[in-house]
Amino acid sequence: MPKLKTNRGAAKRFRATASGYKSRRTNRNHILTKKATKRKRQLRASAQIGQSDLNSIDRMLPYTINRTTKRRRHYRAKDIANATTSYVVIDEVNNAKS
């Protein structure tokens, strides 16, 4: 199977997170003098991509870690399993010292 091409525009605009993708908010590039300070401040935060757009972004970014919800669930379960193991090890060390 041939390699899949990443959409370079999407790669520059979206970043993968544990729960989906994030992007920069719109309306903060120019003509800022007429916009209120509160509005500009709230536009600093990155936006979470909605569920309806996830499939199209997954197609544009085929090599991101969280490509499907199945894979997302797998990584979360793996992290939880590792976290539980590390807590047990820490408790054993604390009990051994006391």
**Residue range 11-66, pLDDT digits in tens:** 999 999 888 899 999 999 999 999 999 999 999 999 999 989 998 999 999 888 76
**SS3 for 9-67, per residue?**
HHHHHEEEECCEEEECCCCCCCCCCCCCHHHHHHCCCCEECCHHHHHHHHHHCCCCCCC
Cα dihedral 23, 25, 28, 30 sign:
positive
Q: How far apart are the C-alpha atoms of 49 and 64, rounded to whole Å?
A: 15
For the full predicted model, state whether its pTM sits above 0.85.
no
CA distances from 71 to 8, 10, 24, 65 (A): 23, 21, 25, 8
Tokens in use for 30?
């120019």
